[in-house]
Amino acid sequence: MAPRIKQEPVGGRTVTADAQSEAPSDQVVRTRHVRSAAPSIATRPRPESAASFHEVDDAGDLLIMLQVKPTPKMETDLDPMGSQSVHGSFIGPTHALRGMGQGLKEINDALGELQARGIQHVANLPELVLVGDQSSGKSSLMSAIAGLRLPRSSGTCTRCPIHIRVSRADEWSCRVYLKQDYDFRPPGHALTKRDVTANNKFPPWVQLDPNRRSRREFKTVRDQFDSEEIETVLRCAQVAILNPTTPFQFFIPKLKGDVSEATRERHLEQVHQKEERSEAQFSPNTVAIEVKGPDLADLNFYDLPGVFMTSKRPEDSFLEKVVQNLTREYISRPSALILCAVPMNQDTEVSLALKIIRELKAANRCIGVITKADLLPKDDHAPSTWLSMLDGNAHETGLGYFITSRQGNDLEDQNKMEEAFFNRTADNTGHWPEVFDRFKEKFGVEKLKAFLSLKLGEKFATILPEVKQKVDNRLQTIDEQLKRFPDPPPNPEMEIMKSLAEFTIRVKDRVLHQDFMNIWHGLFAKQFKRNIIGMKPKFNVREHAKSSRPVFIDLDGDSPVSSPTVRKRPAPVMDLTSQATPKRPRGQQVNGIVKAETPDHPVFPSTPRHLRTMTPAVTPTRGPKSKTLMDIRNLINRAAIPGQPDLVSSSVHEPLFIEAAKTWGPHLEWFMNQTFSFLQAEVFAILEAAFSHFKNRAVYKESLEHMNTFIENHKRDLRDQLMLIYKLETQRMFTTDDESLKRNKAAELEILVRHRNHFRIAAYNGEELGHVPKMDELNDEELKQEAARMDKELKKLGPDQFEQELAVAAYIRGYYLTAANRFVDYVSIHVMSGLLPQVASVIETYLHKQLGLTSSATAQQVLQRLMSEGPEIEQKREDLRREKAELNGAMDIIVNLERRDREQAAQHGHGPDASQAESMASLVDRTSDYSATQSGDV
């Protein structure tokens, strides 16, 4: 963008330079009174002052410092309420609070100190937001308030916000930062107004997460008189903002003397080329400027790009909404005092900035500033509009209007010429109508600055209790967070050894304690046994009983060991006879399948959320399909040896058993996983308690890793042992426990034959059998009655053709129970007598060895490694401590301010605001835990 050079009188005539980019409003300016660049002629005596200024062009945006020495006259003449005499000099001190009352000064000093400590992330402090339309004189106004000026080379600064912080310090400095809150993400197509939405206010910029935002220091200038260097640094900083894909270090200008002048000029030319072909036409990221120096006012404000209705290029029309969105966002901040610049050479009715303020209902926080008073049209009716605004009858703002006239080449000239203009003591600076004299307390930037300081102080005093409470809350939060990051102990080796000793003693005591074993047995061992027994082979005994619905039997209630099965939908219950109805008919028949009693809870409940809930875990499988008596007969026939009738080969039994036994594998894996999860949870809980003060240090993290390896190693060893047992059981049938086998086989045969006979009798009588009661459901008398009925009925039926098959089924079920109980015992004893004692025996020295603490004198590098926290935690602790120090200093400032207000209230009984002082003073009693420090005492 080519810079606009404003009109300057040369030799008594007006010369317009480079009007190519002249805006319509600038054409209006050319038809009216032209500002003079001639030196100010002050005909009224005034105190001497020393100042350093540079001109600020209204459309340019270069920031330059301002240093003004206070004068005694300003101290006595300046009225905080704006009622001071206009005969006082307009070149008053930059420190506008002087002479306005000690109470207000202390409040503003406190506000400035709090702003310098950067507590805005905790509490919103009052701040100034400077808005206006393009070419409204906003840049000149900002320069006058802060003593700075914006770069005017190409309007770069008008394309991104500037955050200016001015404060007092012993030495002058100007630090420039690049604050990145948004990421540059071009959409891949030409942007239009459609791309600007409520959720995408600043395309192609997307807001970053808070933890990804950054604030990088760009450059520091310490020579307040080198205006060229300051302007160069600020211009380069803003070019860096607009070219985000290029590292910002590329744009940092070389200092004079550090490199040759040719090298410096070559680099600046490269920056200029980047400026002309910027990646972005606008950025919501901020150039932050911190200016410190003696006698500077404490101010904190944002200078925003001027809003406009129509972009210069059609392809940039989306920027109209983008810049307006930015203005709305800053105006919406509830703690902001809004300065709205309205130039006298333009029609106020078309002011877009005033329209936005009105839409957001922020006029009550707005201070109107009528700029370019020297360009008031020479029309008898021209003052009427502005007088109406000053009277509050048009474009009303909550805090009224001030009037400024900034002419000249630098800030010092501007102050002098403004004074001469309003006093009508200067030559060739335009005529100021006398009709405005009744508002003379509103003339000039110095009175505006005094009013701003007053309003900032009043607003700060109003929200001070809220600020204090938020600071206190944040301090409490920081203390809680710091407890998670404690300092290392003075003797780390001793503390580590104490923690290790506590850990090993508690682990040994825990894994061998009866309570631990009882919980393990109740949660896992019992369930494991139920799961294994529940896989007992099932047989259909309804073959050739003239029934259309086959029946599976799983008669665990009559077996030596119960084996619950899954509940299914019951069929109607039908008794064998009209007598002896079972008293507790809990078993049911479904599709001809006789089932055992269904428990109150599912056999396969869900996995427990916590190991101590005593809830059984999921079982992996439900076993093989049941076999019919005909299946067994076919096996017998295939294995039969010719010439050996009625002889059943052993090869018939073994495949049936092995098929059932192979279902143990998933149950065994489940048992081991649950056992070691339980063991690991107990061990890790003890480790966490023993190393609670080392949670963020390497010793705890390494111990967790080593104990995890410890558990996995024992799990692997135990799995190898148990899988060997499982393999032996599924290889072949073998037992020397004849007594158990005979007992189990006889019991299973009795169950099978009883159910088989029930179905045979029912089929013979043409009845539908609905339920066969379990033997343990009947009392002795009922059992005798059942036996008598069955003996009577069976005489009619004759021998059962499947007696041999029933005998094979009984043998398989009897052997299964014998082998399953043996397998469960072996598995459980490997845990009780193998795993747990082994863990207790080796735990005492395991961690010592793994951590490298077995030597008599632990090496310093080992301790250093174990006590390290990692850079992230160390940085987190440092950040918290730094923030705590700043907030403690802020709290000291607040407490000191409250204490002084209370003392003044006690001495005088009133003050600038007695009720407010009493309210503030009452807060001191609640802050006895904070004391003023030298750094915080203002």
- Choice among 112-126, 190-204, 307-321, 405-419 with the minimum mean pLDDT: 112-126
Instruction: Compute the average pLDDT of residues 572-587.
Output: 36
Between 552-556, 613-617, 817-821, 878-882, the lowest mean confidence (pLDDT) is in 613-617
- Which of 88-102, 395-409, 758-772 shows the highest mean pLDDT? 395-409
Cβ contact 135:59 at 8 Å = yes
pLDDT of residue 930 exceeding 70, the answer is no
Task: Decide if pLDDT at 84 tops 50.
Answer: no
3-state secondary structure of 672: helix
- pLDDT value at residue 146: 73
Q: How many C-alpha atoms does 628 have within 13 Å on its Cβ side?
A: 11
* 127-132 vs 336-343, strand pairing mode: parallel
Q: What value does the mean pLDDT take over residues 592-614?
A: 37
User: Which of the two residues, 143 and 648, has the higher pLDDT score?
Assistant: 648
- The pLDDT value recorded for residue 77 is 36
Map tokens 């503390």 to a residue. Answer: 495
Instruction: Name the helix (H) or strand (E) containing 829.
Output: helix 803-830
Mean model confidence pLDDT for the chain: 76
The confidence score (pLDDT) of residue 83 equals: 32
User: What gap in Å lies between CA 370 and CA 823, rounded to an integer?
Assistant: 97
pLDDT at 147: 72
**And the tokens for 654?**
């073994």
pLDDT grade for 737, boundaries at 50, 70 and 90 = very high
721-750 mean pLDDT:
94
Highest averaged pLDDT of the listed ranges 212-216, 222-226, 739-743, 763-767? 739-743
Residue 831 vs residue 50, higher pLDDT: 831
Interatomic CA distance for residues 369 and 372, integer angstroms: 10
Q: C-alpha 60: how far from its chain's center?
A: 40
Distance CA 738, CA 740 (A): 6
| 514 vs 624 pLDDT, higher one | 514
Q: Helix 492-511 to helix 860-867 angle, to the nearest 10 degrees?
A: 70
Output the pLDDT for position 126.
Answer: 86
- Per-residue pLDDT, averaged over 664-672, amounts to 95
204: cis peptide before it, omega within 30°? yes
The span from the CA of 707 to the CA of 687, in Å, is 9
